[in-house]
């Protein structure tokens, strides 16, 4: 058997009673399309995740700051350009207007992209079961490159901020970043054992954090030195490099069907059957409950992340681009600390309890953010969130383990669809809640997010106890027989 035709997966089965390592080898069918080049390192989709996240994390804070500056210029507010923003307890009416308009425009632009992306990511994710995973990595990367091009044109020509919506819709038509997430996680499900899947998923999510950390540090310093345009040229180049890498180096794990059609109702039907079927007994209930938990957790993540920059730009913090970059880097560093914490906790805790520890870290951090009125307190909140990403890889892994290998594409298509819905809902709720509560408590949206997280914590804890009981009964039944 030729090395290029063999995929070896060596994983430690964390769920088995012994600690032996099992090697799974399978022969890749000859009719699978191999990439033109072979990667010299033992990586597959990790660079795709890293590069895509780098481009997103680089542009998002800069994009929000650009909206703030353009809107400030339009209304005649220069509080962040002159002697710094007014840190007094009296709210500047112009600053409040800028905050409100920036939050609303961010909502409108993101809504346009996410509504389109919500439809496309479901098609692309399920389509990858038949057409192959590589296409679902390449197409969204090219769409993100088109979005970056539109943003550059807006900045060069100083077009109205409405044109940002055109760029977001172009990205949404290609599946947006959520389609890349779906393709990468489905790829990992194709090539991982059940026992190692949680950690493999956590590695991918750590790539999210590592890329975000670098992008945040670079973005803040670069914007301060050269403005907005040059960083967005790097965003464009990074997205093109992602598509090129996926085409050249990522091996295919699915036998492509030349007759597979993208625009087909079969993709939506596959997702419907996944959540409608009760076989095996109890699967449907667990799928819905874990999906609800995932929706709530990710919605809080997305919603609060959108507000950090606005919260830090305005009084009383009045952060500049450099501090905003460091703050965003601290937030993304939690992806790495969550990975290390997850690996350590798996030695003595089941996955459900690992997720509960992660949710506790998130809740405590959000409470601190809600009352942060100094730089020290804000960074304390970031520090307390050091395990906040330990819950999402557990939820992805539990969902993946509930379905058959042949259903992984449909599952992660639905998960990607849920992530798109999370973005849609969180942008609508949190970006509307922030300006509406400025007059009585600026940090109220963070308190709201912390309260919401108690719901998935209760569900995960309940299902964890039920699964432990079922496992004990199965072992006792086997002993009796």
CA distance 386 to 381: 9
SS (H, E, C) 346-402: CCCCCHHHHHHHHHHHHHHHHHHHHCCCCHHHHHHHHHHCCCCCCHHHHHHHHHHHC
Q: 113 in helix, strand or coil?
A: helix
Q: Which residues contact 194 (CB under 8 A, 6 or more apart)?
A: 13, 15, 401
Among candidates 348, 397, 404, 460, which has minimal Cα distance to 196?
397
From the options 1.20.1250.20, 2.60.40.1120, 1.20.210.10, 1.10.4160.10, give the CATH code of 3-80+88-480. Answer: 1.20.1250.20
Q: Tell me if 352 sits within 8 A of 460, measured CB to CB.
A: yes
Length of the chain: 481
pLDDT value, residue 196: 81
CA distance 210 to 189: 22
pLDDT value, residue 19: 37
Where along the chain do its domains lie? 3-80+88-480
DSSP label at residue 118: H
pLDDT value, residue 255: 76
User: What burial class does residue 17 get, using C-beta atoms within 10 Å of its C-beta: 0-12 exposed, 13-18 middle, 19+ buried?
Assistant: exposed
pLDDT value, residue 463: 92
Q: Which residues contact 333 (CB under 8 A, 6 or more apart)?
A: 209, 213, 382, 386
Q: Note the pTM of the prediction, 2 decimals.
A: 0.75
What is the mean pLDDT for each group of 10 consecutive residues in the chain (481 residues)?
39 39 38 62 82 89 84 75 49 77 82 80 80 88 94 90 88 88 88 82 86 80 82 94 92 78 72 76 87 95 86 85 82 87 90 94 95 92 92 92 79 82 82 86 93 96 87 68 46
CA distance 392 to 205: 9
What tokens were used for 315?
Answer: 């009084």
pLDDT value, residue 111: 79
CA distance 395 to 61: 28
pLDDT value, residue 478: 63
CA distance 196 to 192: 7
CA distance 241 to 104: 33
CA distance 410 to 417: 10
pLDDT value, residue 79: 60
Q: 240 in helix, strand or coil?
A: helix
pLDDT value, residue 39: 61
């Amino acid at each position: 058997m030729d090395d290029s035709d063999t995929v070896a997966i060596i994983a430690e089965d964390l769920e088995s009673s012994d600690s032996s390592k099992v090697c799974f080898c399978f022969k890749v069918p000859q009719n699978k399309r191999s990439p033109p080049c072979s990667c010299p390192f033992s990586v597959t989709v990790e660079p795709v995740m890293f590069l895509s996240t780098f481009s997103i994390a680089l542009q998002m804070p800069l994009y929000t700051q650009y909206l703030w500056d353009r809107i400030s210029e339009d209304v005649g507010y220069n509080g962040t350009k002159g002697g710094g923003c007014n840190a007094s307890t009296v709210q500047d009416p112009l600053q409040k207007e800028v905050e409100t308009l920036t939050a609303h425009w961010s909502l409108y632009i993101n809504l346009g992209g996410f509504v389109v992306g919500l439809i496309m990511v479901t098609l692309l994710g399920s389509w990858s079961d038949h057409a192959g995973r590589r296409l679902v990595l390449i197409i969204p990367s090219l769409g993100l490159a088109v979005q970056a091009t539109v943003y550059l044109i807006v900045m060069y020509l100083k077009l109205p901020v409405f044109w940002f919506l055109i760029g977001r819709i172009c990205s949404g038509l290609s599946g947006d970043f959520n389609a890349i997430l779906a393709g990468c996680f489905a790829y990992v499900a194709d090539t991982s054992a059940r026992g190692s899947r949680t950690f493999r998923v956590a590695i991918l999510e750590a790539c999210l954090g590592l890329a975000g950390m670098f992008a945040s540090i670079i973005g803040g310093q670069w914007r301060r030195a050269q403005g907005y345009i040059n960083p967005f040229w790097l965003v464009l180049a990074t997205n093109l490099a992602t598509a090129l890498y996926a085409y050249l180096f990522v091996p295919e794990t699915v036998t492509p069907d030349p007759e597979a059609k993208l625009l087909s109702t079969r993709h939506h039907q596959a997702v419907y059957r996944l959540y409608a079927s009760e076989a095996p007994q109890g699967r449907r209930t667990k799928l819905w409950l874990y999906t609800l938990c995932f929706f709530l957790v990710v919605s809080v993540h997305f919603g609060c992340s959108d507000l950090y920059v606005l919260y830090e730009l305005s009084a009383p913090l009045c952060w500049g681009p450099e501090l905003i970059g460091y703050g965003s880097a601290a937030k993304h560093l939690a992806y790495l600390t969550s990975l290390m914490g997850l690996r350590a906790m798996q030695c003595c805790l089941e996955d459900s309890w690992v997720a509960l520890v992660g949710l506790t870290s998130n809740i405590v951090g959000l409470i601190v953010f809600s009352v942060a009125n100094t730089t020290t307190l804000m960074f304390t909140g970031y520090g307390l969130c050091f395990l906040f990403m330990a819950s999402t890889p557990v939820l992805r892994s539990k969902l993946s383990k509930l379905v058959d290998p042949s259903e992984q594409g449909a599952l992660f298509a639905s998960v990607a669809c849920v992530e798109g819905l999370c973005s849609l809902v969180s942008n609508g709720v949190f970006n509307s809640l922030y300006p509406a509560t400025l007059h009585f408590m600026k940090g109220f949206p963070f308190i709201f997010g912390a309260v919401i997280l108690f719901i998935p914590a209760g569900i995960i804890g309940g299902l964890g106890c039920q699964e432990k009981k079922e496992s004990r009964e199965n072992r006792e039944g086997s002993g009796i027989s």
